Amino acid sequence: MLKQTYFLSALFAAMILSAGPLYSQSASLIAAGKKEGKAVVYGSLESDTAETAFNAFKKKTGIEVDYWRASATKVMDRALSEYRAGKPLFDIILTNDNPMQIMFKEGLFAKYDSPSAKDFTKESIDPNLGPRYRNVVIGVVYNKDVIKPADAPKSLEDLVKPQYRGKLVMPDPTQHTTTTQWVASLDKLMGKEKADKFIRDLAAQKPILVESLLPAAERVATGETPIAITYVKYVYIFGQRGAPLDYLRLGKFMGDGHYLSLNSKAPHGNAGKVFIDYFLGAENMGMIAKLGEFVNRKGVYPPLPDADKIQFVEMYDLDSKKFAEKKKEYQQIFLH
Amino acid sequence: MSADERALAVEPSLTTAWGRTRLGAFLSQPISWVFLVVGGIIAFLSLYPTFFLFYGSLTDAPLGVPGHFTLQNYVKAYSDPEAYPLLLNSFIFGLGASGLSLVFALTLAWITIRTNAPFRRLFELTAIIPNILPPILVSISWVMLLNPSNGLINALFVKILGLEKGPFNIYSMPGLIFVESLILTPLAFLIVAAALKSMDPSLEESAKTLGSNEFGVMRRVTFPLIRPAILAAGTLNFVRAVESFDTPAIIALPARIEVFTTKIWREALGSFPTNHNLAAAYGVGILAVALVFVYLYRRFTSQVENFSTVTGKGFRPHQIDLGGWRYAATSVALLLLILLVVLPILVLLLVALLPYYHVPTWQTWQRLTLDHFRYVWATPRVHKAFINSLFLALVGATVCMILASLASYITVRTKIAARGVIEGLVFIPWAFPGTAMALGLLWAYVDFPIPIYATIWIILIAYVTRFLPYGLRAVSSTIIQVHKELEEASIVCGAGFMTTFRRVLMPMMRPGVMAGWIILVTIFLREFSATLFLYSPGSEPLGPLLYFLYLDGMRGRVAAIGLVISVISVILIAIAQRYSRWESK
């Protein structure tokens, strides 16, 4: 018994000693961050999710977050312009993989190894950008009031069957960058030959083309068009408001990753680091998963039926030349 | 030195002396100083950000990165044979939308200003509402009403008439023109209504005395007199339609109709990463077209004396007694108001009261909620955005109209040689696509010696820079109508330029000034394309807030905020219109 008590005491002391430096570092970092007053974040994370995270962060640390929200491309445009002019006002950039990689190459980011990164799987950690904290998953969503689940397509290949002609809406792959990437990456799911045929057959179905993934989901929610290629999370988000949406269980789903990084010339560097630690931490990841996000934490899923069965496949990273080529190619296929 | 050589030697000094005399004479006129100050401010506002865009169009690297001189952006933009049929599509779209908006605006303005049709004041007040709503919301409303699959109007026709499918298809060129024309009508209405208000009725009365009927008076007198205003509204609306992206993105894209702006989006602004150099090269092309239109407009209105209708005599606008036809006139105005205001607002109200938008059924009424309005009421971020936007709208529109009035006076009234340049300068920033210009403004002011970047003042500067043409057009079409005898009388009585401008011209130009002010207030309350790149999180106005909520799929909140903005704007417009009436003086 005594031996056991000694052992437990020693273990406890070891835990305190090993956790001690980490705790004091965090506390001093928080104090330094508080002194700076706020962290400025430029990002494309949806406003409600962002606000939930920022409010909890403020409650926990006392540090305010000023958030500038725009599309991924606009975030990159503003951040690069400010950085090149030598007046970056932001501490953190929080957006998609492709623009993050471009900004990294331009030297916008400082190396910061957050202690929270250790809880992410090895595969989800990018050597330049750190943990891919969430995946944005693209799938096929349909309106259950317009198409009975039994009559709904069962696979991507089913979308090109005659009965679904004119019933599909998708973002224009010649204009919408993420959709260009999605179409260009289809060979990851079905192999090159099948993917090439599928793309041509899909175009022949004359899908209704819209500007981005959200209008596609909205059209399905209103029932204007019954089936959409869009983000799967909209099933949960619109479903919360009463929209009768469901998604096809495709097994493998393609999508993009989201990252956040610290500005190498951050005006509030300490506050920025505190923010990264909190944002990547278990509490925040659990919270934003509950709002419908696919976070990269084992066993943490959004409240969407069968979310745990989704196998995520990351889309190809395309450079600007490849994007231009693909857009031109799809112009011939989809618009002519 | 020969005699010839001596003559040659003397001549430059003579020229210099003559030049000095001319310069002295020029500078001795107060108006010359006004010209220099106003011209200087406008030149700076316009050329400083535009310089960055021009520079960008001639280099192969993004701004801030050392690049090489190149014409490749122009070659790429204009050597593509596919671009030219798209230009034709844009031309048809621009002409159709601008023409139809003029028909709507003229009809509505004539009924509300010149007839005794019942409820005309109410129509006048509400006709401007669509200008308050973000164009994207108006387009979406009409998609909800007229889409072929479950548009509300189509569904109604199918149900009532037992048709197989709805008779209307919004996804077509006529649909595109129709919706854009509704978006453009308020601007045309304000300009034309201001001109109709400022018109001396004695000319029309003379025509009637000489035996002309009401229709003849309208065709031979009224219409030619307001021609500058019609041309002004037509010019503005044509360029506005050609460079618009929102309506084509929502209606033309599903219809597979391509216009020039969708091409610019695909090739430059929507490409990844954004090709600003190419976007700037496209912008320069649009600028050239816009300047041709400015030139044409100036030619049309060069015989300004012909249009002078406001003289020293007191008057009230001529009002036509329509007799029994006045109810028919009210019906026509009501029909236009239903298209312009009632239907889109009803759709917005429905969107604001539903948890998510769907075609209404009986169960819909049980789902109605005030949650979106509660969000507006309870969210400090929304309150702050309202305060910021009201400040920007009221101060920005006032500054803009002061500058526009002085610039308009110089371009229309004076014989200063370079006066045309001012008008050209005003139009330069307006001709670039919104996002490209926003980048030009960002580049221009991010490193400005006075630290105004990311403050509310930079947004104010951006608004004045980009929207000065609206103010200028509105006030120019009125100033053309004011006869010179009034200022001449003032000057003969010993008043200086500023006194004459303030006490004689400003009251006479009041309808145009107030019309311009209203246009600008309503635009500033919802503007986002220039604001997006320039505001800092602490100075967020309503435009970006609406944009983010829209981006996040929160249509209900967007609609609720849109409706609250509409109510505030109507109050502001009612106050402004009270001050714009001649009879209120």
A139 found inside a domain: yes
Put simply, whether A333 touches B (Cβ < 8 Å) is no
Strands A252-263 and A134-143: antiparallel
Cβ of B265 within 8 Å of Cβ of A175? The answer is yes
Q: B313-372: per-residue pLDDT in tens?
A: 555 566 777 778 889 999 999 999 999 989 999 999 998 998 887 777 777 788 889 999
What is the model's pLDDT at position A197? 96
Q: Verify that A161 and A61 share a domain, yes or no.
A: no
**Nearest CA-CA distance, residue A284 and chain B, Å:** 20
Range with the largest mean pLDDT of B133-137, B300-304, B380-384, B550-554: B380-384
Instruction: Kindly report the average pLDDT of chain A as a whole number.
Output: 89
- Residue B452, domain member (yes or no): yes
Would you say residue B114 has pLDDT above 60?
yes
Q: Quote the crossing angle between the two packed helices A47-61 and A282-290, to the nearest 10°.
A: 150
Of B15, B26, B18, B43, give the one whose Cα is nearest residue B416: B26
Helix (H) or strand (E) holding A253: strand A252-263
With b for 16 or more beta-carbon neighbours within 10 A and e for fewer, the B243-262 pattern comes to bbbbbbbbbbbbbebbbbbb
pTM: 0.80
Q: In whole angstroms, what is the distance from residue B308 CA to residue B484 CA? A: 8
Rounded CA-CA distance B148/B145 in Å is 9
- Asked whether the CA dihedral B122, B127, B131, B133 is positive or negative, the reply is positive
- pLDDT score for B125: 74
Based on the domain organization, do A44 and A16 belong to the same domain? Answer: yes
- Check CB contact under 8 Å for B552 and A241: no
A329 and A202 both lie in a single domain: yes
My answer on whether A108 and A143 are in the same domain is no
Residue A50 falls within a domain, yes or no? yes
Chain B residues 169-228 with a CB less than 8 Å from chain A: none
How is residue B59 annotated by DSSP? B
Which token pair is B268? 């430059």
**Quick one: A174 and A239 in the same domain?**
yes
Task: Name the one residue in this structure whose structure tokens are 């006030």.
Answer: B475
Q: What is the mean pLDDT of chain B?
A: 81
Considering only A2-16, B292-306, B374-388, which range has the smallest mean pLDDT? A2-16
Q: What is the pLDDT of residue B226?
A: 83
pLDDT at B6 over 50: no
Query: CB within 8 A of B365, min separation 6: which ones?
Result: none
Whether pLDDT at B1 is above 50: no
- Among B332, B434, B342, B334, which Cα is nearest to B142's? B342
Which residues neighbour B378 within 8 Å (Cβ) at sequence distance 6 or greater? none
User: What average pLDDT score do residues A256-285 get?
Assistant: 95
Residue A141 lies in a domain: yes
The residue assigned the tokens 């990165």 is: B65
Does A111 lie in the same domain as A81? yes
Report the gap between the CA of A208 and the closest CA in chain B (Å): 5
Q: What does the pLDDT read at residue B343?
A: 93
pLDDT in tens, A156-171: 999 999 999 989 999 9
List the 146-165 stretch of B: residues with Cβ below 8 A of A: 147, 149-150
A309 CB neighbour count, 10 Å cutoff: 11
* Average pLDDT score over residue span A314-321: 87
Residue B320 lies in a domain: no
Given an 8 Å threshold on Cβ–Cβ distance, is B62 in contact with A177? no
If you average pLDDT over each of A81-85, A114-118, B158-162, which comes out highest? A114-118
B158 pLDDT exceeds 50? yes
Question: pLDDT (tens digit, 9 = 90+) per residue, B229-258?
Answer: 888 888 888 888 887 877 888 888 888 888
Which of B 285-344 lie inside 8 A of A, CB atoms?
none
Give domain status of residue B439, yes or no. Answer: yes
pLDDT for the residue numbered B298? 65
CATH of the domain at A251: 3.40.190.10
In this structure, the answer to whether residues A326 and A286 fall within a common structural domain is: no
Among B30, B206, B193, residue whose Cα is nearest residue B107 = B193
Would you call B554 and A48 a contact, using CB atoms and an 8 Å cutoff? yes
Q: Look up the domain containing A153 and give its range.
A: 135-255+310-335
Does B447 contact A87 at a Cβ distance shorter than 8 Å? yes
Closest residue to B549, CB basis, from A47, A67, A218: A47
Is A304 among the domain residues? no
Q: Which residues neighbour A220 within 8 Å (Cβ) at sequence distance 6 or greater? A: A141, A142, A143, A169, A226, A227, A228, A230, A245
Same domain, yes or no, for A61 and A144?
no
By CB atoms closer than 10 A (0-12, 13-18, 19+), residue B102 is: buried
- Mean pLDDT within B441-469: 85
The domain tally of chain B equals 1
- CB interface of A with B, residues 98-117, below 8 Å: 98-99, 102
Does A328 contact chain B (CB < 8 Å)? no
Taking 90 as the threshold, does the pLDDT of residue B70 lie above it?
Answer: yes
Domain count, chain A: 2
A–B CB contacts, 8 A cutoff, strictly below: 135
The whole-angstrom distance between B377's CA and the closest CA on chain A is 17
Dihedral of alpha carbons B522, B525, B529, B531, sign: positive
Helix B555-580 × helix B510-524 angle, to 10° = 170
For residue A145, give Cα distances in angstroms to A230, B363, B364, B544: 18, 14, 14, 34
Give the Cα separation of A138 and A247 in Å (integer).
10
Which region, left, alpha or beta, applies to residue B119 given φ > 0 means left and ψ of -120 to 50 means alpha?
Answer: left
> Which of B356, B435, B536 to substitute to test the interface with A, most A CBs within 10 Å?
B356
Residue B513 tokens read as 């000034």
Asked, for residue B309, whether it belongs to a domain, the answer is no
Specify the pLDDT at position B560.
93
**Per the domain annotation, does B519 fall within a domain?**
yes
Is A210 close to B254, i.e. CB distance below 8 A? yes
Residues of chain B with pLDDT > 90, as a percent, come to: 19
Q: Residue A102 and residue B273: Cβ atoms within 8 Å? A: yes
Q: Does residue A305 belong to any structural domain of this protein? A: no
* Domain co-membership, A318 together with A232: yes
Residue A16 lies in a domain: yes
3-state secondary structure of A303: coil
Rounded to whole angstroms, the Cα distance separating A181 from A134 reads 18
- The reply to whether A84 and A141 lie within a common domain is no
- Please give the Cα distance from B165 to B158 (Å, whole number): 6
B208 located within any domain: yes
Beta strands in B336-419 (DSSP E): none
pLDDT value of position A311: 94
| Contact indicator for A231, A138 with CB cutoff of 8 Å | yes
CATH of the domain at B337: 1.10.3720.10
Give the B window 338-367 contacts with A, CB below 8 Å: 355-359, 367
Q: Do A225 and B149 touch (CB under 8 A)?
A: yes
Q: Would B20 be classed as within a structural domain?
A: no
* Chain A touched by B449 (CB under 8 Å): no
Inter-chain residue contact A324 with B271, CB threshold 8 Å: yes
A16 and A36 inside one domain: yes
Q: Is residue B6 part of a domain?
A: no
- Residues A247, A305: Cα–Cα separation, whole Å: 9
* Whether residue A127 is found in the same domain as residue A63: yes
Structural domain that includes position B251: 32-304+327-584
pLDDT of residue A17: 43
pLDDT grade for A1, boundaries at 50, 70 and 90: very low
Rg for chain A (alpha carbons), in Å? 22
Model confidence pLDDT, tens digit, residues B293-308: 767 766 665 544 455 5
What is the mean pLDDT of the segment spanning B469-497? 77
Interface of A with B in 276-315 (CB under 8 A): none
| Nearest CB to A81 within list B64, B254, B355 | B64
CA-to-CA separations, A139 to A115, A227, A314, B53, B396, in angstroms, rounded: 33, 11, 13, 39, 46
Substitution target in A83, A224, A240 with the highest count of B β-carbons within 10 Å is A224
**A84 with B63: Cβ contact below 8 A:** yes
Instruction: Give residues with Cβ within 8 angstroms of B155, minimum separation 6.
Output: B166, B359
Q: How confident is the model at residue A288 (pLDDT cuts 50, 70, 90)?
A: very high
